[in-house]
Amino acid sequence: QEDLFKNVVSHAKEYGFIFPSSEVYDGLSAVYDYAQNGVELKNNIRQYWWKAMVQMHENIVGLDAAILMHPTTWKASGHVDAFNDPLIDNKDSKKRYRADVLIEDYAEKLNQKAEKEIEKARARYGEAFNEQEFVTTNARVMEYKSRNREILERMGRSLGNNDLEDVKALIEELEIADPETGSRNWTDVKQFNLMFGTKLGASADNAMDLYLRPETAQGIFVNFLNVQKSGRMKVPFGIAQTGKAFRNEIVARQFIFRMREFEQMEMQFFVRPGEEMKWYDYWKQTRLNWHLSLGLGVTNYRFHDHEKLAHYANAAADIEFNFPFGFKELEGIHSRTDFDLKAHEQYSGRKLQYFDPELNENYVPYVVETSVGLDRMFLAVFSTSLKEETLEDGSTRTVLALPSVLAPTKAAVLPLIKRDGLPELAQKIVDDLKWDFNMAYDEKDAVGRRYRRQDALGTPFCITVDHQTLEDQTVTIRHRDSMKQDRVAIASLRQIIDSEVNM
Ligand code: ATP
């Protein structure tokens, strides 16, 4: 699994999907740039979401709110006071760890250590059977594991309850060590606000302190009435938005899974008070179905229903995905009650109410939110699609078996050789089809190697132009996944590609 993850990162770089940000300066931690193929894949995922959410729902409309918002927004939303992660400082290494990640790391180390001990005992057992020694070692390791496990579990619970004093005490009891340096000098456990601050205005005296938005949702809430009135929307209705969000994550690792600048695709659905559970269930299922429609495999998804709820929610669930490092949150579905709209009413002094003509009454709608990370979607799709295949003749090939609808390039046109008019004819096919599909032209290297390159880029079709094409206007079309080749008329290409790559 670790190897798979390494392959994902290096494939993404080698084939122009994702580069570390400002790499010439050795990068910026947890910030990434989407390269020539990555931007296409990312755009396609965004469009696939937008189509399903906005275009296919007559009662959902889009929005593109600004990243910078009036600072009171974040007081009302609770982000100024309660958007924290507990962080642990190590005095010696000067490193900071997100408490829950440190616990995870430690549990991992604990397992490794125990396995090693048992392995050692087993080796001895092979050389000269010493039952007593083996049994004692085993018992010692098990006791060590279970004692520390129990402390880790208590620590996890204390973190959940925000009881940082207790976490501190447990760290001492555990004698936890810095996973990288082994040093045990922990200083403090404290809360760390994840919002990035910035300033608006030129003069130091009256500059206004702003935040980069940590979620796109609030741009939707403050525009709720504007959209409802100007669009004559009737409850239930939704507002959808995709856009950048920023969080100063304490531990930034796992590639694009946890970034400091990332993109969200969110939809806030406004419903009658009391009907939120019905809609919560509806959106949980609808969103799962959307994921399943990509064909990455049913067993790669699971729900995680939250027991401990955020201050604004009365029900919440994650759709978790089986990433290369295990099941982790991909999307959140939250029943946010009327918390946000009421808070904005209170802080702004403006009414954010809806007049329901059927009930003949005014109310603040309840909200059900679906929120998925675009970059996490990218990672889910990319890592699941990357395959190393052994072919019948024993050779191997790397194929990025992306869902065709998301593939950056839909078809590559390849002249068999670089003369006899084949390049010109191939280019003409590209020029004709590029109105409808993202196309590529490639004439470098032997055709077999060009096929492999397109496989690694996830291109569903390769179209090869050869001498027969000059005579009868047919080409071979090769399918990425089956590697099957058919001889077809140039005139039929548009329809063949279209039937596979459109939603
Ligand atoms: P986590 O528990 O993993 O930090 P979260 O519960 O804070 O995530 P939400 O606030 O519910 O996440 O955000 C909604 C979605 O935005 C998440 O499901 C995830 O896909 C995405 N997301 C959140 N934080 C990040 C990040 N730092 N990098 C990339 N995507 C993120």
Q: Are residues 492 and 372 in the same domain?
A: no
User: Does the pLDDT value for residue 329 go beyond 70?
Assistant: yes
- DSSP letter at 365? P
Burial of 323 (0-12, 13-18, 19+ CB in 10 A): buried
Q: Which residue, among 340, 328, 346, 329, has the nearest Cα to 369 in the 3D structure?
A: 340
Pocket test residue of 329, 331, 336, 378 for ligand 1, highest count of atoms within 8 A of CB? 329
> What tokens does 235 get?
């409850």
Q: What is the mean pLDDT of the chain?
A: 92
* Cis peptide, bond prior to residue 408, ω within 30 of zero: no
- Within-domain flag for 403: no
SS3 125: helix
Q: Which atom of ligand 1 is nearest to the CA of 214?
A: 10
DSSP H helices, 51-201, are 72-76, 79-82, 99-127, 131-160, 164-174
pLDDT at 176: 65
8-32 burial, b if ≥16 CB within 10 A, otherwise e?
bbebbbebbbbebbeeeeeeeebbb
Query: Tens of pLDDT along 378-405?
Result: 999 999 999 999 999 999 999 999 999 9
Domains contained in the chain, number: 3
Take atom 9 of ligand 1 and give the residue whose Cα is closest.
332
Question: How far does residue 490's CA lie from ligand 1's centre (Å)?
Answer: 46
Q: How far is it, in rounded angstroms, from Cα 274 to Cα 314?
A: 12
Give the domain CATH number at 51. Answer: 3.30.930.10
- Within-domain flag for 400: no
The stretch 225-244 carries a mean pLDDT of 97
Give the domain CATH number at 442. Answer: 3.40.50.800
| Antiparallel, parallel or unpaired: β 208-211 and 186-193 | unpaired
Take atom 14 of ligand 1 and give the residue whose Cα is closest.
371
129: containing domain: 84-193
Q: How far is it, in rounded angstroms, from Cα 60 to Cα 78?
A: 26
Provide the ipTM: 0.98
Type and span of the H or E element at 40: helix 36-50
Burial of 298 (0-12, 13-18, 19+ CB in 10 A): exposed
Take atom 20 of ligand 1 and give the residue whose Cα is closest.
373
pLDDT at 234: 97
> What tokens does 476 get?
């071979």
Q: Which atom of ligand 1 is nearest to the CA of 252?
A: 27
Of the chain, the percentage scoring pLDDT greater than 70 comes to: 97
- Within-domain flag for 206: no
Type and span of the H or E element at 254: none
176-205 burial, b if ≥16 CB within 10 A, otherwise e?
bebbeeeeeebeebeebbebeeeeeeeeee
Take atom 11 of ligand 1 and give the residue whose Cα is closest.
332
Q: Are residues 241 and 322 in the same domain?
A: yes
Beta bridge partners, 355, equal 362
Q: How far is it, in rounded angstroms, from Cα 467 to Cα 419?
A: 10
pTM for this entry: 0.88
Tell me whether residue 266 is annotated as binding: yes
Q: Which atom of ligand 1 is nearest to the CA of 260?
A: 27
Place 252 in a pLDDT band, splitting at 50, 70 and 90. Answer: low
Place 175 in a pLDDT band, splitting at 50, 70 and 90. Answer: low
The stretch 460-477 carries a mean pLDDT of 98
Q: Are residues 249 and 379 in the same domain?
A: yes
Take atom 8 of ligand 1 and give the residue whose Cα is closest.
329
With a 6 Å cutoff on the Cβ, whether 249 touches ligand 1 is yes
Question: How far does residue 373's CA lie from ligand 1's centre (Å)?
Answer: 6
With a 6 Å cutoff on the Cβ, whether 332 touches ligand 1 is yes
User: Does the pLDDT value for residue 114 go beyond 90?
Assistant: no
- Within-domain flag for 290: yes
Place 154 in a pLDDT band, splitting at 50, 70 and 90. Answer: confident
Q: Are residues 287 and 432 in the same domain?
A: no
Check if the beta carbon of residue 155 is closer than 8 Å to that of residue 170.
Answer: yes
Tell me whether residue 372 is annotated as binding: yes
- DSSP letter at 80? H
Check if the beta carbon of residue 283 is closer than 8 Å to that of residue 370.
Answer: yes
Q: How far is it, in rounded angstroms, from Cα 111 to Cα 266?
A: 38
- Within-domain flag for 397: no
Q: Are residues 363 and 429 in the same domain?
A: no
Question: How far does residue 49's CA lie from ligand 1's centre (Å)?
Answer: 17
Question: How far does residue 290's CA lie from ligand 1's centre (Å)?
Answer: 19
Take atom 19 of ligand 1 and give the residue whose Cα is closest.
373
